[in-house]
Amino acid sequence: MENTLFTGVNILDCTGAEPYPGEVLVEGKRITAIARGTDKLPRDNSDVIEGGGTATLMPGLIESHAHLSIDNVDDLASIGMIPPEENTLIAMRNAAFYLDCGITSCISAAASKARMDVVIRNAINKGEIAGPRLLAASPWLTVTGGLGDMRTLHMPDISSMALMADGPEEFRRLTRELIREGVDIIKLVISGDTFVPHAPSDSTVMSEAEVAAAAEVVHAHGKRMSAHARSADSVKLAVKHGVKVIYHANFADEEAIDMLEANKDWVFVSPNIGFTATAAYEGSEWFTEEEVVELGFREELEGAAKGLQELRRRGIRILGGGDYGFFVTPHGDNAKDLGHLIKYCGFTPMEALQSMTKHGGAAMDLPNELGQIQEGFLADLLLVDGDPLAEPEVLLDRDKLIAVMKDGQFHKQSK
């Protein structure tokens, strides 16, 4: 295989160090050598990519809460209604689009059908379709009446995107079945949500016995869990039962934050403030001023930002991206979260970038292989016309992504 040498680039390695000029050599799937300053690397058998001294080379973005099979919808019911054939095409198209946007890895946060992420992941891994490195999730598992249960008494058979289960035995069976079908991640909905009138965000709707039953099966099979956990008790249940990626955590209280801190070597928080931040301050297209106030988006954002600053202060790793694929948060806007973390949560630009690179790599269980530019790491790289540290929004402009590489192969390369 031909090697690739990037020269004349500013290397933003996302280790936390300041960018530096240099060269990066890619052989096969991996970064094999890095030169700093005016040092030169051997260029035999290499395709030489010239950055002209101004382009930035950085790791590909890692989305921690992906929904590739959801198509920018404005209601949850339509996700269940769409037939699997059409839905598969949507997921395929979004997978390729994520690479176009510089997102080279995704931790799925729920698929719309039991096998949807699994077949997309397998096709990507075989090289049959374009798409990011993907951890495949189940549809989200919810209790009767929880987020995404679209059934009513007179229409009990209506399709829901969520899979409903009640009691530990049902959670055990469903978890086993989904693992049999090949998912990497079982997604639990432990808390309520703003959009569920009878189960608001600060309520905890799954019982501990149900969480424990799913966890027992997941751990026995060496798989992983993620959880929609807004309420304080849901965060505590998630930590107690080994949920690696905790979504939202916006009502985490002191005890929950203490538990997260005590387990910070393996647990990650993905706040997914994109929807809330956009709805709170940039949402006039979708919400009237009265609705913004009534739905409490600004208070929710303020509360989440306060909690996040505390988590950050205590060294809990925060993951960026999240819940893109809905009307307020269309696919491709994922890197907006960098700006949200900086603007509303007091993150430095470097901390924000690391939430979608270095920490994402660790959350994918590849802390020494993914999400940084270091020798030996996987060559998932972006060549950017600009400086994402000074101007993170440059990553939202696909024309500024000169090259997108995954596993040492160019997905995109404009000359």
Distance, CA of 100 to CA of 103 (rounded, Å): 7
The interface region with Zn ion, picked from 105-113, 207-215, 256-264, 336-344 by CB under 5 A, is: 105-113
Output 248 or 406, the one with its CB closest to Zn ion: 248
| Closest to 270 measured CA to CA, from 320, 330, 329 | 320
CB of 193 to Zn ion, least distance (A): 10
| Closest to 244 measured CA to CA, from 260, 225, 228 | 225
Output 323 or 380, the one with its CB closest to Zn ion: 323
Distance, CA of 93 to CA of 87 (rounded, Å): 10
Using CB under 5 A as the binding rule, whether residue 109 contacts Zn ion is answered as yes
Output 68 or 260, the one with its CB closest to Zn ion: 68
State the binding string over 308-327 for Zn ion (x if CB under 5 A, else -): ---------------x----
CB of 15 to Zn ion, least distance (A): 29
Render the burial of 294-331: b for 16+ CB within 10 Å, e for the rest.
ebebeebbebbbebbeebbeeebbbbbbbbbbbebbeb
Using CB under 5 A as the binding rule, whether residue 23 contacts Zn ion is answered as no
| 285 contact partners, CB below 8 Å, separation of at least 6 | none
CB of 40 to Zn ion, least distance (A): 46
Using CB under 5 A as the binding rule, whether residue 337 contacts Zn ion is answered as no
Output 228 or 317, the one with its CB closest to Zn ion: 228
The interface region with Zn ion, picked from 19-27, 101-109, 154-162, 312-320 by CB under 5 A, is: 101-109
Query: Helices in 191-335 by DSSP H: which ranges?
Result: 208-220, 232-240, 254-262, 274-281, 289-295, 297-313
Question: Which amino acid belongs to residue 343?
Answer: K
Q: How many residues bind Zn ion (CB under 5 A)?
A: 2
| Closest to 207 measured CA to CA, from 252, 171, 181 | 171
Coil, strand or helix at 178:
helix
CB of 170 to Zn ion, least distance (A): 22
384 - beta bridge partners? 56, 401
State the binding string over 247-286 for Zn ion (x if CB under 5 A, else -): ----------------------------------------
CB of 43 to Zn ion, least distance (A): 45
CB of 319 to Zn ion, least distance (A): 13
Query: Helices in 296-335 by DSSP H: which ranges?
Result: 297-313
| Closest to 249 measured CA to CA, from 275, 267, 268, 229 | 229
Q: Looking at residue 378, what DSSP letter applies?
A: B
Output 137 or 345, the one with its CB closest to Zn ion: 137
Output 65 or 411, the one with its CB closest to Zn ion: 65
Output 13 or 323, the one with its CB closest to Zn ion: 323
| Closest to 109 measured CA to CA, from 88, 135, 85 | 135
Output 364 or 373, the one with its CB closest to Zn ion: 364
Output 162 or 395, the one with its CB closest to Zn ion: 162
| Closest to 100 measured CA to CA, from 406, 408, 407, 415 | 406
| Closest to 49 measured CA to CA, from 84, 5, 96, 90 | 5
Give me the residue label for tokens 């080279």. Answer: 104
CB of 241 to Zn ion, least distance (A): 20
The interface region with Zn ion, picked from 42-50, 95-103, 108-116, 231-239 by CB under 5 A, is: 108-116
Output 3 or 64, the one with its CB closest to Zn ion: 64
CB of 65 to Zn ion, least distance (A): 6
Distance, CA of 133 to CA of 59 (rounded, Å): 13
In Å, the largest CA–CA distance within the chain is 73
CB of 1 to Zn ion, least distance (A): 37
Distance, CA of 38 to CA of 23 (rounded, Å): 9
CB of 248 to Zn ion, least distance (A): 9
- Note the residues at the interface with Zn ion (CB under 5 A): 109, 323
